[in-house]
Structures are given as structure tokens and as C-alpha cells.
Structure 1
């Protein structure tokens, strides 16, 4: 696969100046915006244009079963007609609480083709967080996937008086549902006809570009979730603009495993469907490695955690394979880095380096490609910062990760790296129609058709987020160089020590998570004399090491309390913290037995750290480190 060199932008918009500063560090624009349009139009166009037998696939009874475009259209229409038979009409809200599966897509398209606003809910959320979302949105019905999800909703139904229908994908009345999706489709089929099919399509295509498609509740790190209002054109413009950045074809196959309740995967699936790319739904997040080997995808979208785990597993296998295998691996890694440096500088590696790289591919990197199924053309990364070290490793192996950037409020894509315009450590350049500007305090601002209509029922919060000229405040801190955007941290995450030093914790946490003994890392230090870091060990690795040292233990808590383990983890942390200023370097570490979790409120459903919650939850432990 041809790998992209670094190229500078030629965008004429960068020739302007702002506040006397060079525009290249202040402003970038991705070019003209796409024309107005709707997701509905993309849906019908894809069904008619591609009409393939394997538009989607899902694993059932141990085999991957295809679903055709025609079947999808029929089920979408009958689901929509069934909703109408229940009395649910345009402008009403309907929630979806489900893991990824074809029924999610069917329910979604049924709603938006009927001008019903759907409300996706993360399937990992505990029951006590559901009433607020359902009441605030005014959802009249909710689709649920499994018996567990149905029982979750049934347990809080008395707290949601406006909820009239619980509709199960694989759940039944015995689980608390009022009817199943099959029942709903049967209702729709009873009134379906050739004339209704024509009317359904006509009405769906008549939906205007400013029609509200979805309310997505941002998890946020403080306060109640806010309902982000995204319109047809918000999503349509993002799909069309992304099409110019990511080249795909009908020969591509994508493995979908991120929650469709996450705007990254959802807009991504709209993009894939609109371009005739086959979509295979992973059985679960845990089965992604096995599913990659089975379906052999050519592309995948993921948050950085997947790449961190793959990288850690590769390093672990190399280190555990004996001295010879270990030497070969690190030799190949070094060769790959030098090869990558040449490619990224726009030069073609030649001579001895080219020969060494061919050997490294055969001995090491080909094994990594086999783990992904053998056909992968590229990954797409979003949702959180990706470690440059990991991105470079994959790049040197011939598996490029195209890192992008966006938020729920921006539909989501603001910028992305592409094959033609790629810069390691950046999140690429703005996509067509999108403008980006860096404010005086370093905050990233963006403007364009991708910016949400606003927050549902929260006019003041909307005004705070979007100024009179249409610039949306992202809350992220970043830099622009030659039109390429780099994210340095979240504005609210910046740590200001008691000595007045400003620290950006995310890059440091990402450095730590590349160590195979570290699962999670969170820096603390705001208004404190120095920073510390809370570490959740990668237990498989720690326990293997402990066993190799002849250590015996009965519980993980006992293991963590051992001075030998504490010293081992301190050593591993220190080896990762290279090149930091003294004031940036965590002075002490604390080891935690359990992963941070969504259920305990320590992580958002998109797995972002709620630093303030963690600071409060572990306050006695944190205080003890400073008292020492």
C-alpha cells in the first residue's frame, strides 16, 4: 500500500492575518461547503445504486449472515409504518438503547425517514441514568436490544410517565416489552402496499435539510448531560465532506464495533452505507480480534484504546518469545521507524534501508497484518488523542491510522488526516465546508454546516457554546501549523499547580498507557504543589511478572500492597516519562485495584475520564500522597 508523504497546505484562506498574527497559526478552512441535503436522500440513493445482497452482515448461529439492501429498505419502511400505527408521528422522539446490530440501523432509518427524532442511549449506562434522558427528551417509545436492556428500562418505567412503548429487538413481553420489533414490522406489513411504498419514499425525500434528526446526549465531565440537536444537513454535509477525504469503494468491507450511540460510529456508518461499503457488525467489543480474522475487513473505525491494546499485545509477545525473538522485534521496530521517517519526509526509502525494511516486514510486520485479517487498508481513529508513538509504529508496519478530530456537537468530523495529506501527531486538516480558528487562549473554535443547531431546551448553554458569528467553542486546546490541527488537551483538564505551572495531562497519560504494565492512568495536581498519577495496572502482565518472580498472592489488593510490586510499577512509570520538564513529571504514583468505570461515574460512556470525579472519589488516597 502506498503510504502518504507529508504535504503542506495550499489553502488560500491561510494567507490572511488575524489580530496581527500569521494566519497559519490561527486559522484554517477546508474549502467550499457541500450543497444542502439529507441523510434520507443518501439512504434511498444507496439502496437503488448498489442493490447488493450483502449490504450488512451479522453473525448468527455461528456463521456470518448477509442482509440485502432490498431487505433493509423493506424492514425500514414496515418499521416506520408500524410506528405510525402506534400513533407516533413526525417531530416525536423515540429512543434507541442497544448494542450494535442491524436492527439499530433499521430503527434509526425508520425514524429519520418519518421525520421522527431519535435519541440514542449508550447500552452501558446503568438504569438510574435513564429517567433523566427519557424525560428530558420526551421520548414516547424506546427500542431495546436484549432482555437485560428491556429489564433495565422496565425497572425505571414508573419514573418516565411519557414513555408509552418499549419495543424489543431480541427482548420480549416476558422481559418487560410491550411488543417486539417483529410485531411492529407485522403491524407495518398489514398496511404496506406498492402505493404505500411510493408514498413512504416521497414523504421521506420531502423531509427538509433543517429537520431535526437526532438528540444525542453528551456525557460531559460535569453536570447533567445536554441534548445535542443535529439536523439532516449537519449529518449530510459531514458525510459528503468526509467522502472527499477518505477514498472507499464497493470492494471495501468495514467491521463496525463502536457503539452506534456514539456519533463517530453513527456518522461513519452513514458514510459507509452511502458509499456502498459492506458493513459487518462485530458480535461484541470482546470478540473484535476474532471477528477481524473472520471477516477480514479493509477498514475500521476505532477509538485509540484498540490500537493501544494491539500494540501492547505485540510488544508482550516479542518480549515473552525469548532473547532472539526480542532482538528481532526491536531491530524491526527500529528499521520501521527509520523507514517511516523517510516516507513522512516525502522521500522513498532505498538501498540498505529498503532491504532491511523488506526483511522486517517478512519477519515481524506481516504477523501484525495477519492479526487484522490480512486485508486492512487503513484504520480511522477518533474520540480521544492517539499516542504518536503508537501511530508511528502502525505506520511503519504498513497499517496507516488516519487520525481525525470532532465532537458530538460537530456531527462529528472537524478535521482528518488523509492519504494525500498526512502529518503524524496531528488530527489533519479541516474537511470541506469547515473552518477552524485558534482563540487567544488556545481554544479551538469551528464554524460551518457541521455545527449543531444547539442544546435541546437549553438556550443559555447554546449561546455560551456558539457565538453570534457561528463559531462553536470546542473546549479543546490546540495549535495550527500549515493548516494541520494538533490537539494538546481539554481546556477543563488543564492542571494549574500551586506554583502556577500549567500542565496538559492527556499527552503524559497517553505516554504511560503505551507501557504494557499500565491499563489506565490519570494525572492529578490542580492547585497542588506537584502532580501525581493514579495507575490501574494491566493485571495480566503484572500477574505474569509476579509469578515469574516466585511471588505468591491470594488477591490483587494483596499484590498491590507488596513493596516489590510498587517498585516494579514505579520503575515502569519512570521509564515512560522521558523528556518531560521537572514540573510536568508526576512525583508520586498510587496503584488502584479496579479499572475506572462508567457505572461508578468515573468515565463518560465514550470512556473520557471525569477527572474531578476521580479526584473526589480517591481524595483520601490522593491526600495521603501529599501528606507523605
Structure 2
């Protein structure tokens, strides 16, 4: 277990507590900014914009349409959609009525969607496309509470309300005088009203519904602003590509709206590469997997390009501490300027050239990858939190960055380390509880209001938090040794030839690694060595490939204790995917599912002889 230098981090008071509801946050931004480019979205290969007034009009009409359908305070409305303006418009319309929305990942299969809709008792469900509609229709007979489905796009089938029809119904409701208006209804929303029920993506078992109030979320917005992770405001663009259904992107979206930044929506992560130079954002929230893929692509350089890259990294590494401390932002001297021109300027250009930084969350970020981006002039401020904490608890920020940590607590947030090394947190952002699950709520939040995060961590002398791993992920070998797999997995995955790593070994004589290679880079390597069969299954069986992967992974683990270091490596020929149930929509690996799917391979590792 980790040993903290400090048991508690210093607490900074939260200075601003208004707006205290999301409806006030929504209307306040409209009144303060009134810009022509509140939102951007791509349609038919062209980017379009929506003004604050257009958004307000659509929210008013949709809220009235929902009211005409009988939605009122305390009701629950689901949103099953990719990132797009309609997501936010539906969200604000639902919140204005005093109802709570239920976000659902667009990547989920129908059986998991059914559980969320059934458990939440949602009366209305918004769906983005016909594909999402079909998932709902497939399980409709299990959803007695679901009264209507509203589609953003015309699905071309009967029995579904198109969003334009819902708005037209709203127009009639307004004209009749029966709808009091969003501004009047918004004033009646209370800070302790439930704003949303977010079902955790859960790496084990059925997800639980996390009850977040308006105050939970707005206090986190206010704390984020006071913490000053990044300076954003009118005239600046924030890219929204992580699923809004995830609490991290959801909170980020509220923050962008609150400070008047333009929100550019990207409806699929595979469109990120084209969206970055098109939109030229100043800021974005991202998950480590995004940075890992960019890093792997860059580090996949060979020959002269590889030599130049290695030299440039050494040049940048010599100044990294000054960069992290905020003492320099531009390259100085001939060597730095040359390294920047030959390598790092190209990386920045591919991201649009205006990025002031990313915030990384939802999973640990390898320190070597973070260092690369900082050297390239693209700061990554790693933070930490859970859906149950709305979600942000800590974050690095300009002038206060320590790579390998998740930063300092946000204002108003208390963080301490429990006797067993568990990270505990308390503050205004901590959830109200789990929906219809008091037993789980009492397990998560103790009598003194401390949220038990389930993570092991330590607090250094300066108050920075470092996360070691999830308690439930700790491997206990047959010899009784406790191993936290995440640090070793992160170190092993840094190689350009490695895409995904899972460490196994619970109740086994020694730990081992399951490795999914980065087949793009591996194929180049194999072709250069005259390997004829480039099929992933064949490569996974090739002894030369096995030797490479073993060297690239185990060779990076020299700094760990001998008992922690895996003894064997097995290569998996196919990537772990959401569709196979092996990773969550937030790209966290479901260890039990991976072990189950690859049980034969694992048994080969531990076979006698």
C-alpha cells in the first residue's frame, strides 16, 4: 500500500457559490454573452454555428413541447445520443422543467440501455439516430414507464416524435398560454433538486445510478473556475468529443457555457483528427487513450525521422522543469528552436495550432506521454475524480504541475488518505447518493460525509495527490504479495509497439502480462524484417514478435520491485473493444471480462513445464 507524506491535503475555501443551479448557469451565460457562435457542429462536411439566442429559442420550444407531453418536476428523461448541439438543448430543456435527465452512452448495446431505462423509470427518451432508436425499440416491451421517444434525426418510421414536431407542439403550448416560460420555471428550480442520474459505466456488475444535484454540479463549475486550470472565455473554442454522457465531459460542457467559450461538438472520436485543424480549438478535455494513440503514431517514426525525434526529445527534456513551472512557454536558443521547428511545431499544427492545453481524466496518464506533450508545447493538466464527485476532485493547473500526480484539490474540496491507503473526499460536489440503493450509498459515503473513492493514493508534502490503483484491482499472488497493476501497465504500454496491456496474476504463482500490440507500427517493423505473414494472428504467434514485445514491455519495468515484475508475456491478436464488452465507454478495461475471454491463453501461461 502507498504511504503518504501527508494524511490530508490543504483546503482552499470556495469563494463563489453562484450560480447555484444549472438553469441559472444556462440563462446567465445567455444574458452575459449573447454571442453568434455559442455552438459549432459539423454537417455534410461543413461547420455550422448556433448563437446563444438560437439555443435559447430551441430550449424554450422544446421545454414547452416536453411540458405538453406531461413532463414536470421530478420526472426523468433519457438522452441517448452522440455529442451534438441537440444533446445540450435537450439537457437544458429537461432541467428547466425541474426534471432530471438520464444520459446514456451511444456505444452501449440494447440490453444495457434497457437496464438504465428500466431502472431509472424514464418517461421520455431522446435518441439521435435510427440506429439508436432501433436499440430502444428492441427492448421496448421491457419499459412500461417509457411513454414516448423523440428523435433528433428523422428515423423514417412511424410512432416516433421528431424533435421538430416536439418543438411545434411546444409552439402551440406557448401560444395557448399554458406554458409559463423557461425563465419562470428556471427560477423555481432549487439547488438540492436532482439534475441528473448518471449510470456509472462500471467495470463489474450492473451500473448504479448516481444522483447529482444542481448544487453538486454548479459548485464543481465554480471550483473549476477558481482553480484556473485553463483560461477560457468569449472568442475561444472548446472541443467536445468525449461522450457528454460521461460526467467529465458533461461538467466540462457546463464550464465552457458558463465562461462564454464556443463549444464545438464532434460526434465520433474517429473524427477528431479532422476536427482539430478545422476548428482550431483552444482547449479540450480528453482521456489518456487519445494521447496514447497520438504518441504512438509520432513515436512510430523510423530511420532518420526517428533519430531526429529522439534528439529533439532530449533537447526538450533539458528544459521540462522550467516549462512545467511556467517559467518559459517559447523555445529559446538555437537547439530548442531547431527541435521545435523539425518536430514539435508539426504536432501543434495537427492539433490546430491554438491549443492552450488539455485536461486529462477518467484514467491514469503515463508520465512519459505527458512529458512528450509538454515538450511539444501542448500542456496536459491531469486531474482526478469520480462520477460520484460531479466529477472533479483534484487537478494540476498552470504554475502548479507535477507529472505523475493528479494535482491539488479544487477549492472547497477536502481530500485525505484513510488508514488503509484509500483516498477519501468531502465537499459540495459529493453525490446525493445512488438511485434507489441506500445500502450502496451508505457503503460509499460514511456518517461524516466522506466519499470512499475505492482508489489507493498518497499525498505529497506539497499537497499533490498521486493515485496508485483501484483497491479492487490489487493482485494478490499465491505467495501473498500485493501488487498494484496500474503503474506497471502504464509503464509497459509506453512502447510504440504496444496498444493495450492487462496485468494478471491474482492467486497465481507470479504476475504476467496480456499485451495487444499496436499492429500499425508492428506491421511496419515486421515488413522491414522480411516477415511475410502480416496477419495479426500470425504475428501474435511469431517468436520474433514475441521477443520484441517482451523486450518492449518487461524492459521498461526495471524500477519496480522484483516480485511485482511480470515473468511472462502473452500476445492477444485482437484489440479489447466496447462491442466485446472488454472495455467501458470511458475506455477502462474490464479485467474480469478480458480474463474470461482469454482464459485459454492465460492457462497456457501458467501451464506446468
1:407 is matched with 386
1:3 is matched with none
1:280 to 264, 268, 286: 264
So what's the TM-score if we normalise by structure 1? 0.92
Q: Deviations over 1:105-129 (max 9, x none)?
A: 0110100111111100111111111
* Match runs of 1:37-48 below 5 Å: 37-48=20-31
- CA drift of 1:43 comes to 0.5
2:186 to 190, 204, 210: 204
Aligned pairs, number:
602
1:425 is matched with 404
CA contact (8 A) 1:92 1:117 kept: yes
* Match runs of 1:31-70 below 5 Å: 31-32=13-14, 34-35=16-17, 37-70=20-53
Q: Give SS of 1:94's match.
A: strand
2:291 is matched with 307
Work out whether 1:598 is the aligned partner of 2:581. Answer: no
For 2:512 and 2:57, locate their aligned partners in 1 and report how far apart those are by CA, in whole Å.
Answer: 57
Which stretch shifts more, 119-128 or 554-563?
Answer: 554-563
CA contact (8 A) 1:33 1:449 kept: no
1:233 is matched with 215
- CA drift of 1:196 comes to 7.3
Superposition RMSD on alpha carbons, in Å? 2.0
For 1:45 and 1:197, locate their aligned partners in 2 and report how far apart those are by CA, in whole Å.
Answer: 21
1:14 is matched with none
* Match runs of 1:43-442 below 5 Å: 43-174=26-157, 178-192=160-174, 199-245=181-227, 246=229, 247-317=231-301, 319=302, 322-323=303-304, 325-344=305-324, 354-442=333-421
Q: Deviations over 1:66-93 (max 9, x none)?
A: 1010110111111111011111221111
For 1:342 and 1:107, locate their aligned partners in 2 and report how far apart those are by CA, in whole Å.
Answer: 45
CA contact (8 A) 1:169 1:180 kept: yes
1:18 is matched with none
Q: Give SS of 1:244's match.
A: helix
For 1:27 and 1:445, locate their aligned partners in 2 and report how far apart those are by CA, in whole Å.
Answer: 11
CA contact (8 A) 1:168 1:177 kept: no
- CA drift of 1:522 comes to 0.3
For 1:364 and 1:242, locate their aligned partners in 2 and report how far apart those are by CA, in whole Å.
Answer: 33
CA contact (8 A) 1:295 1:373 kept: yes
CA contact (8 A) 1:97 1:121 kept: yes
Work out whether 1:527 is the aligned partner of 2:510. Answer: no
So what's the TM-score if we normalise by structure 2? 0.95
Residue 33 to residue 599, structure 1, CA distance change in 2 (3 Å): farther
Q: Give SS of 2:319's match.
A: helix
CA contact (8 A) 1:57 1:279 kept: yes
Residue 368 to residue 349, structure 1, CA distance change in 2 (3 Å): closer
Q: Deviations over 1:333-362 (max 9, x none)?
A: 001111103444676699x97442222112
For 1:621 and 1:580, locate their aligned partners in 2 and report how far apart those are by CA, in whole Å.
Answer: 25
CA contact (8 A) 1:108 1:118 kept: yes
Which stretch shifts more, 567-576 or 28-37?
Answer: 28-37
Q: Give SS of 1:300's match.
A: strand
1:627 is matched with 607
Q: Give SS of 1:287's match.
A: helix
CA contact (8 A) 2:326 2:398 kept: no
1:558 is matched with 538
Residue 271 to residue 342, structure 1, CA distance change in 2 (3 Å): closer
Q: Deviations over 1:412-470 (max 9, x none)?
A: 00011111322221111111111101001110000010000000000010000000110
- CA drift of 1:23 comes to 7.9
Residue 316 to residue 194, structure 1, CA distance change in 2 (3 Å): farther
For 1:58 and 1:151, locate their aligned partners in 2 and report how far apart those are by CA, in whole Å.
Answer: 24
2:438 is matched with 459
- CA drift of 1:145 comes to 0.6
2:521 is matched with 541
1:4 is matched with none
Unaligned runs of 5+ in 2: none
- CA drift of 1:25 comes to 3.8
